[in-house]
């Protein structure tokens, strides 16, 4: 008995490994695609949220620049929260709530119009928001004056064919920009318009100058910058440190504007309400990783369970089949066919094969025993006579008679061995036929002549009926052997006074040879077995009543080797007729001649 299948070759283990690999790949691919999609979505959200945060900041800076406190900022914060969908909160630097949602916990930026964050909104001069105009705001009259003057300048420049663009500044001033040359600008009064200082501005600038003084002193810039016409400084001396001068202007301006703008406030914004994903990658939190790993494990477990279940169902009948196949021949249990799938078909095929094997094995055993039996009788006869001769105990037989008896038995042995050889050749497909054109009438005439003597001795009339004039493509020796066997049997099993008739006729493309006798016939139940090897109606194997039981088996194989069929009809006590059907010469689909042939189907009824 062979060893069980090693685990690494087991079908079940391979199925499990394959399904685990497939499930792992599927989980990994799904996780990767989901993470990528989610990351992209979150990044998009994040970019959108960043834009919204910037706009919240800009709006709050604008509010602070125009209001001296945050007292009225509540509605503005509410409106911003509703518009952007963000949670917004504003507190003083020391944490006192100024307005907005208390849920906003993420510190975003400090809102201070005097120190705007250039990273969030575009840079302003010295980081002071342009909209923080404070005392520089023109009065209504001054603004009217400004508009009238601006229109005058624009009309003049337009009249000279130049384009002018007017921009309203936060404090009420108007900035004009034009492509006109300096002369045209001067003649139209653009310079005067730009440098004109209104009264309210004048007061503020004087104040600014004073507020700048300590800083200018400190930096040794006193008297080196003009008293400003706007809040920007204009160096009147080259080579002064422009940055420090600008710093002093900004310092003074901040002190001046403090009273007019809202104090610095801390802005809190919950950056991305939909989720938080850092730009550049989607990172799962600890619990999320655990959840994902759990789901993956569950999928894998279910996959393994299903595969193990299906695999076990597949493997179980295969194992049973293997176990059954390992039983010695003749002891194999028939496997029940439980399904109509491939395994069911395999089981049925194996059952069939096992039955065939058992039949073949039984036939082999039977044949060996038959052969032993057939050889035993002549051999024991030879031995008995030789022993008797040796002991001088064989008075009834003369030396000549003994020799004749021994010769008869030796010929019988040779006959059996030759028959067995013929059958073996037929089985192996190595039966050699030297085929040629054989005239049927001549064939029959020879057979009848050859057996005339034995028929006469048995008191049986042997006759040749009909002539057909046809020819067959056959080995004359082998086909004569067929007729000899049939005629010998007919004479042997026909009592004295009976008749054996050999005939031939053509039927369609066939030649039909018949050997009919009026002998004892063959019983209906025995008829299907007459062509079996070693089969005889007389099971006692009495030599006087017949031969070895191989004659008809050889006849059947020889006829089949010629591409023909043989059949028998018989009635007990009335005689038998053996009918051999062979193709007429020239009608065979293969060229006549010498060849080896395989035995073909036989009609035994």
Task: State the residues that interact with ligand ADP by CB under 6 A.
Answer: 485, 489-490, 493, 517, 519-522, 530, 535-538, 546-553, 576
Of residues 249 and 548, the one with the C-beta less far from ligand ADP: 548
Of residues 171 and 547, the one with the C-beta less far from ligand ADP: 547
Q: How far is the CB of 419 from ligand ADP (least distance, A)?
A: 9
Buried b (16+ CB within 10 A) or exposed e, 394-431: beeeeeeebeeebeebeebbebbeebbebbebbeeeeb
Q: Kindly state the tokens that stand for 33.
A: 């695609």
Of residues 272 and 552, the one with the C-beta less far from ligand ADP: 552
Half-sphere exposure of 333 (CA within 13 A, CB side): 8
Q: Kindly state the tokens that stand for 383.
A: 């031995």
Return the bridge partners of 317, or none.
none
Q: Return all residues near 592 (Cβ < 8 A) that are at least 6 apart.
A: 435, 436, 437, 473, 585, 586
Return the bridge partners of 176, or none.
166
Of residues 521 and 583, the one with the C-beta less far from ligand ADP: 521
Of residues 311 and 521, the one with the C-beta less far from ligand ADP: 521
Q: How far is the CB of 480 from ligand ADP (least distance, A)?
A: 16
Residue 557 CA to residue 560 CA, distance in Å, equals 5
Of residues 173 and 536, the one with the C-beta less far from ligand ADP: 536
Q: What are phi and psi of 432, to 5 degrees?
A: -95, 125
Q: How far is the CB of 526 from ligand ADP (least distance, A)?
A: 7
Of residues 503 and 519, the one with the C-beta less far from ligand ADP: 519
Q: How far is the CB of 427 from ligand ADP (least distance, A)?
A: 16
Q: How far is the CB of 463 from ligand ADP (least distance, A)?
A: 16
Residue 147 CA to residue 172 CA, distance in Å, equals 9
Contact 577, 516 (CB under 8 A): yes
Of residues 189 and 604, the one with the C-beta less far from ligand ADP: 604
* Residue among 269, 268, 262, 270 nearest 115 (CA): 262
Q: Return all residues near 174 (Cβ < 8 A) that are at least 6 apart.
A: 146, 147, 150, 166, 167, 168
SS3 225: strand
Distances (CA, A) of 458 to 447, 492, 494, 536: 16, 8, 8, 21
Q: Return all residues near 370 (Cβ < 8 A) that are at least 6 apart.
A: 533, 534, 549
Q: Kindly state the tokens that stand for 564.
A: 């023909």
Task: Cite the beta strand spans of 480-561 per DSSP E.
Answer: 499-507, 510-517
Of residues 592 and 604, the one with the C-beta less far from ligand ADP: 604
Contact 576, 517 (CB under 8 A): yes
Q: How far is the CB of 490 from ligand ADP (least distance, A)?
A: 5
Q: How far is the CB of 485 from ligand ADP (least distance, A)?
A: 6
Q: How far is the CB of 564 from ligand ADP (least distance, A)?
A: 18
Of residues 142 and 532, the one with the C-beta less far from ligand ADP: 532
Q: Which residue is nearest to ligand ADP (CB)?
A: 547
Q: How far is the CB of 559 from ligand ADP (least distance, A)?
A: 13
CB neighbour class for 256 (10 Å; exposed up to 12, middle 13-18, buried from 19): buried
Q: Kindly state the tokens that stand for 579.
A: 């009918």
Residue 245 CA to residue 251 CA, distance in Å, equals 10
Q: How far is the CB of 503 from ligand ADP (least distance, A)?
A: 15
582: alpha, beta or left? (left if phi > 0; alpha if psi -120 to 50): beta
Question: How large is the greatest C-alpha to C-alpha distance in the chain, in angstroms?
Answer: 177
Of residues 200 and 484, the one with the C-beta less far from ligand ADP: 484
Of residues 116 and 458, the one with the C-beta less far from ligand ADP: 458
Q: Kindly state the tokens that stand for 442.
A: 């001549």
Q: How far is the CB of 575 from ligand ADP (least distance, A)?
A: 7
Q: How far is the CB of 472 from ligand ADP (least distance, A)?
A: 22
456: alpha, beta or left? (left if phi > 0; alpha if psi -120 to 50): alpha
Q: How far is the CB of 425 from ligand ADP (least distance, A)?
A: 17
Half-sphere exposure of 22 (CA within 13 A, CB side): 10
Q: How far is the CB of 314 from ligand ADP (least distance, A)?
A: 51
Of residues 39 and 484, the one with the C-beta less far from ligand ADP: 484
Of residues 93 and 573, the one with the C-beta less far from ligand ADP: 573
């Amino acid at each position: 008995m062979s060893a069980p299948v090693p685990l690494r070759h087991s079908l079940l283990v391979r199925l499990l490994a394959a399904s685990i690999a497939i499930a792992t790949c599927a989980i990994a691919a799904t996780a990767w695609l989901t993470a990528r999609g989610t990351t992209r979505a979150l990044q998009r959200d994040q970019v959108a949220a960043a834009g919204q945060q910037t706009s919240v900041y800009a709006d709050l800076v604008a509010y602070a620049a125009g209001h001296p406190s945050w007292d009225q900022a509540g509605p503005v914060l509410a409106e911003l929260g509703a518009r952007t969908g963000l949670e917004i909160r504003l507190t003083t630097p020391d944490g006192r709530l100024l307005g907005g949602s208390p849920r906003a916990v993420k510190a975003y930026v400090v809102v201070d119009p005097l120190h705007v964050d250039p990273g969030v909104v575009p840079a302003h001069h010295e980081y002071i928001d342009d909209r923080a105009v404070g005392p520089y705001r023109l009065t209504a009259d001054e603004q009217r004056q400004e508009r009238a003057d601006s229109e005058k300048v624009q009309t003049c420049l337009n009249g000279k064919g130049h384009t002018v663009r007017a921009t309203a500044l936060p404090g009420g001033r108007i900035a004009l920009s034009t492509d006109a040359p300096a002369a045209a600008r001067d003649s139209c009064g653009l310079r005067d318009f730009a440098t004109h200082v209104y009264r309210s501005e004048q007061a503020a600038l004087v104040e600014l100058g004073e507020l700048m003084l300590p800083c200018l002193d400190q930096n040794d810039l006193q008297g080196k910058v003009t008293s400003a016409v706007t809040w920007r400084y204009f160096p009147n001396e080259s080579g002064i440190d422009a940055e420090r001068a600008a710093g002093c202007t900004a310092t003074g301006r901040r002190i001046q504007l403090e009273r007019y703008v809202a104090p610095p406030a801390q802005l809190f914004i919950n950056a991305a309400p939909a989720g938080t994903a850092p730009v550049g990658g989607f990172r799962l939190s600890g619990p999320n990783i655990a959840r994902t790993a759990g789901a993956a494990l569950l999928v894998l477990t279910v996959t393994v369970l299903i595969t193990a279940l299906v695999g076990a169902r597949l493997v179980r009948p295969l194992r049973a089949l293997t176990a059954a196949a390992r039983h010695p021949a003749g002891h194999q249990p028939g496997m029940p066919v439980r399904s109509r799938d491939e395994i069911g078909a395999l089981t049925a095929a194996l059952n069939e094969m096992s039955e065939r094997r058992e039949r073949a094995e039984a036939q082999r055993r039977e044949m060996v025993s038959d052969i032993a039996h057939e050889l035993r009788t002549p051999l024991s006869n030879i031995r008995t006579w030789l022993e008797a001769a040796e002991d001088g105990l064989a008075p009834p037989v003369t030396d000549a008679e003994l020799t004749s008896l021994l010769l008869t038995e030796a010929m019988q042995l040779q006959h059996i061995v030759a028959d067995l050889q013929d059958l073996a050749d037929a089985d192996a497909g190595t039966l050699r036929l030297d085929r040629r054109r054989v005239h049927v009438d001549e064939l029959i005439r020879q057979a009848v002549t050859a057996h005339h003597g034995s028929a006469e001795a048995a008191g049986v009339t042997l006759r040749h009926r009909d002539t057909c004039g046809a020819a067959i493509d056959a080995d004359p020796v082998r086909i004569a052997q067929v007729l000899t066997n049939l005629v010998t049997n007919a004479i042997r099993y026909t009592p004295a006074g009976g008749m054996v008739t050999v005939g031939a006729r053509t039927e369609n493309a066939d030649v039909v040879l018949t050997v009919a006798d009026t002998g004892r016939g063959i019983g209906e139940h025995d008829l299907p077995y007459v062509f079996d090897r070693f089969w005889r109606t007389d099971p006692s194997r009495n030599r006087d009543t017949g031969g070895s039981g191989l004659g008809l088996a050889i006849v059947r194989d020889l006829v089949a080797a010629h591409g023909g069929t043989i059949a028998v009809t018989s009635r007990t006590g009335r005689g038998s007729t053996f009918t051999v059907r062979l193709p007429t010469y020239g009608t065979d689909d293969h060229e006549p001649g010498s060849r080896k042939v395989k035995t073909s189907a036989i009609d035994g009824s």
